């Protein structure tokens, strides 16, 4: 694969992939041999380079460390039965990355750096793509401010980096979820729709509190009434209610426009289900559960793909689900996995071959 941009490539002399197995790897613990790095200064992107994975030398006064100008994306590449490597819908991540950049007052990253640079990097480290079931190569593009001065203003310099990390399944078993009624992930007019680092940093304390009482993640509610459901942890959420797939709408700008969410909506419709993107309150969900109308609940995201939820707790009311009887979420996950690994024809053009 030949890139359309001029990338200076410094290859490693010995690949670490020969020193370890790529099976049953924990998410985000191991990184491939190389990384892509580009600098923004004087109004343009420059110094585009693929180099051995290595630490960065950073100033203590780095703007990103003090004022939070830092964004990222999560993408996955898969190896099919023939050994070909393809990336799942990276064009959508490219668009969303620049939406985040615009909201955080950061420069846009050109397509030839984000997409072509990513393909060049993956092609160089293609031996790091696991060939095992439920495994993939996680791709982490990110950008952060690099001005070395203190002052609350947009940085004039930035660094864009792409890392590659082989990984196994994120959530291997159905989850127990605590419905959050005090803390807030995002508010209308805020930055909930962007993948900025601050959104994730602010989520850690409420999530830790949920862990203390035995729950895996939290289901966020709106900031004003703590009534309307938003995201579950770092994933979009779906409820199968009376044979309709209901997922919170994006209209308030508090929910990430997930690539897996977008794909799930399309596949669910093709599977014959009605999909409703709308506001849904915890009261409506509880009423539907009491009436026996809630059959399945699951999360959808890049890291976790489709994750089953076996329990939801709100105040003193707990909703239990027997995931062994489910049909929709497992079928959706199997269909997505089959497309990604080449076991089903990609009629949507989602897989971009490296």
Interval 126-161: pLDDT, tens: 999 999 988 999 999 999 999 999 999 999 999 999
Compute the average pLDDT of residues 23-35.
93
Give pLDDT, residue 303. 82
Label residue 2 by pLDDT band (50, 70, 90).
very low
Residue 4 — pLDDT band, cuts 50, 70, 90? low
pLDDT digits (tens, 9 = 90+) for 250-275: 999 999 999 999 999 999 999 999 99
Stated as kind and residue range, the H or E segment containing 233 is none
What is the reported pLDDT for 18?
80
This prediction has a pTM of: 0.96
How does pLDDT run across 276-311, given as a tens digit for each residue? Answer: 999 999 999 999 999 999 999 999 999 879 999 999
pLDDT at 192 over 90: yes
* The predicted structure's pLDDT at residue 198: 95
Domain ranges of the chain: 8-169, 175-334
The helix/strand/coil state of 64 is helix
- Residue range 175-334 forms a domain whose CATH class is alpha beta
pLDDT at 19 over 80: no
Query: What is the arithmetic mean of pLDDT over 156-182?
Result: 93
Question: Stretch 172-182: mean pLDDT, rounded?
Answer: 94
CA–CA–CA angle 250, 99, 124 (5° rounding): 115
d(CA 267, CA 52) in angstroms, rounded, equals 39
Neighbours of 47 (CB within 10 A): 11
Mean local confidence (pLDDT), 83-109: 98
pLDDT at position 275: 98
Q: State the average pLDDT for the chain.
A: 95
Residue with the larger pLDDT of the pair 64 and 4: 64
- The CATH number of the structural domain formed by 8-169 is 3.30.470.10
pLDDT value of position 1: 46
DSSP string, 303-334: TTEEEEEEEEEETTEEEE--GGG--HHHHHHH
Q: Which of 187, 194, 37 is nearest to 104 (CA)?
A: 194
Percentage above 70 pLDDT, the chain: 99
């Amino acid at each position: 694969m030949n890139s359309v941009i001029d990338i200076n490539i410094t290859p490693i002399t010995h690949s670490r992939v020969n020193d370890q197995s790529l099976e049953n790897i924990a998410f985000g613990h191991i990184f491939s041999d190389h990384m892509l790095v580009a600098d923004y200064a004087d109004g343009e992107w420059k110094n585009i380079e693929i180099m051995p994975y290595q630490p960065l030398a950073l100033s203590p006064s780095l703007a990103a460390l003090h004022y939070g100008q830092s964004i990222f994306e999560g993408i996955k590449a898969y190896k099919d039965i023939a050994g070909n490597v393809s990336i799942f819908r990276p064009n959508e991540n490219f668009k969303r990355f620049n939406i985040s950049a615009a909201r955080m007052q950061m420069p846009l990253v050109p397509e030839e750096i984000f997409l072509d640079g990513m393909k060049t990097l993956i092609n160089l480290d293609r031996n790091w793509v696991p060939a095992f079931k439920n495994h993939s190569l996680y791709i982490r593009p990110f950008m952060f401010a690099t001005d070395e001065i203190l002052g609350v203003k947009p940085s004039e310099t930035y660094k864009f980096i792409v890392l590659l990390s082989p990984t196994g399944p994120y959530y291997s078993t159905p989850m127990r979820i605590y419905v959050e009624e005090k803390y807030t992930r995002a508010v209308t007019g805020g930055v909930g729709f962007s993948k900025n680092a601050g959104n994730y940093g602010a989520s850690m304390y409420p999530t830790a509190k949920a862990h203390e009482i035995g729950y895996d993640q939290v289901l966020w509610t709106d900031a004003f009434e703590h009534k309307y459901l938003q995201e579950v942890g770092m994933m979009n959420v779906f409820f199968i209610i009376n044979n309709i797939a209901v997922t919170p709408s994006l209209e308030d700008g508090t929910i990430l426009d997930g690539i897996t969410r977008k794909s799930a909506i399309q596949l669910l419709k093709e599977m014959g289900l009605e999909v409703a993107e709308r506001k849904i309150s915890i009261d409506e969900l509880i009423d539907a559960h009491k009436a026996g109308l809630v059959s399945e609940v699951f999360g959808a995201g890049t890291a976790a793909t489709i994750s089953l939820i076996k329990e939801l707790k709100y105040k003193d009311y707990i909703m239990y689900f027997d995931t062994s009887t489910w049909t929709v979420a497992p079928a959706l996950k199997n269909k997505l996995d089959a497309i990604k690994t080449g076991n089903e024809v990609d009629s949507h053009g989602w897989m971009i071959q490296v």
